[in-house]
């Protein structure tokens, strides 16, 4: 997808040389070791003269990024700007970061007038105390998991871990919104995340979903129960004006040309012996990633989840890594099949323990 000239690009881009899909950056002396740099600046005129950042997975797709990047020395290991002590104010940040994962360790910025259209803003500031009062960004995949986020989030479109909203008016097409704020107390009255039973028609979805599986500007698919892998998505994406930096749409009957679709991951080294899930960016499909466990060794030994409807929220989910100690509290996938067939009776849509079958009232017609 790289249309850049990259005259002297010496980066070790495992899956692309600076991967400037829609940019004309010259990268004259770009010496970054971008293992998976997919920065696809739409009209990036930056010079990147002395860019020495080691962006392992930098997908910042600034639509009109005019920055010079003259002295960018950040060591973004799977993060576009993980400054250790970033004290920037971000007062007038108007960039359209399609996949901005700036996880500043001690980011004290106010973000008061942040109008950026962060299509995939995963800013997970460790101690982010910003107010986000007037944050008008259209985060299609906002995974901001601030450890101590005290913002009001009145219009926060992220899917909070303790979200008690009814999602009655959820009309968004957030295909992979996995924002799980640790202590987010917002009401989520206008939560536009992808509810399990999202009945939106996606008729006029003009969001700039950087990783939206169906980001067609005029997508007419029904997406009744899934916005990621539309089963009958026949859109041609002819008028798709979104800046889909990593579109991993796996529509069953997708007739789009997908000329630049790199979801097959030629260098997928994951083991995933019995992983049958179809997670858009899970270890199985590994869209633009090596098993998607950028810093893990996923085994997926007995992962039998189907994730056909994207209910496991496996958007760049590395929970199946060998050393994963998470409780999977909110994992709705059908993980870990029973150890033996005798432990459970599987009926369509039901999982009945054998103890139930041994009840006395069943003896007349059921043999335990």
Q: How much is the pLDDT for 328?
A: 30
Q: How much is the pLDDT for 307?
A: 30
Q: How much is the pLDDT for 83?
A: 30
Q: How much is the pLDDT for 11?
A: 34
Q: How much is the pLDDT for 250?
A: 33
Residues of the chain whose pLDDT is less than 70? Answer: 1-368
**321: which DSSP letter?**
B
Q: How much is the pLDDT for 71?
A: 32
Q: How much is the pLDDT for 81?
A: 34
Residue 272 to residues 15, 279, 324: CA-CA distances in angstroms?
21, 13, 15
Domain boundaries, the chain: 1-80, 82-163+175-187
Count the neighbouring beta carbons within 10 Å of the beta carbon of residue 222.
16
Contacts 24+ apart (CB under 8 A), 160-165: 160/184, 160/186, 160/188, 160/191, 161/330, 163/188, 163/191, 163/193, 164/188, 165/189, 165/191
Residue 48 to residues 16, 128, 171: CA-CA distances in angstroms?
17, 29, 39
Q: How much is the pLDDT for 313?
A: 30
Q: How much is the pLDDT for 89?
A: 33
**pLDDT tens digits along 5-41:** 333 333 333 333 333 322 333 333 333 333 333 333 3
Q: How much is the pLDDT for 18?
A: 34
């Amino acid at each position: 997808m790289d249309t850049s000239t990259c005259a002297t690009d010496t980066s070790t881009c495992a899956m692309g040389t600076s991967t400037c899909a829609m940019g004309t950056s010259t990268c004259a002396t770009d010496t970054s070791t971008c293992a998976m740099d997919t920065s696809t600046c739409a009209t990036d005129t930056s010079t990147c003269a002395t860019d020495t950042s080691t962006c392992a997975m930098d997908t910042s797709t600034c639509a009109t990024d005019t920055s010079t990047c003259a002295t960018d020395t950040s060591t973004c290991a799977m993060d576009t700007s993980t400054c250790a002590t970033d004290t920037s104010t971000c007062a007038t940040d108007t960039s359209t970061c399609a996949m901005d994962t700036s996880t500043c360790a001690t980011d004290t910025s106010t973000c008061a007038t942040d109008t950026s259209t962060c299509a995939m803003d995963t800013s997970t500031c460790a101690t982010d105390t910003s107010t986000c009062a007037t944050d008008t960004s259209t985060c299609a995949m906002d995974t901001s998991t601030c450890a101590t986020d005290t913002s009001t989030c009145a219009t926060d479109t992220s899917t909070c871990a303790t979200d008690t909203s009814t999602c009655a008016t959820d009309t968004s097409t957030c295909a992979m919104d996995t924002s799980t704020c640790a202590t987010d107390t917002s009401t989520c009255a206008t939560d536009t995340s992808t509810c399990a039973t999202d009945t939106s028609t996606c008729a006029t979805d003009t969001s700039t979903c950087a990783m939206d599986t169906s980001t067609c500007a005029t997508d007419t698919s029904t997406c009744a129960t899934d916005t990621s892998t539309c089963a009958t998505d026949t859109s041609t994406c002819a008028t798709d004006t979104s800046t889909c930096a990593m579109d991993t749409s796996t529509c069953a009957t997708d007739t789009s040309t997908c000329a630049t679709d790199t979801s097959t991951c030629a260098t997928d080294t994951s083991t995933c012996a019995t992983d049958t899930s179809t997670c858009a960016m899970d270890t199985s499909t590994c869209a633009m990633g090596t098993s998607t466990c950028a810093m893990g060794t996923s085994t997926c030994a007995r992962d039998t989840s189907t994730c056909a409807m994207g209910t496991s929220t496996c958007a760049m989910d590395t929970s199946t890594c060998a050393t994963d100690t998470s409780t999977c509290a909110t994992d709705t996938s059908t993980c870990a099949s029973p150890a033996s067939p005798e432990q459970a009776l599987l009926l369509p849509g039901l999982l009945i323990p054998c103890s139930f079958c041994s009840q006395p009232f069943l003896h007349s017609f059921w043999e335990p």
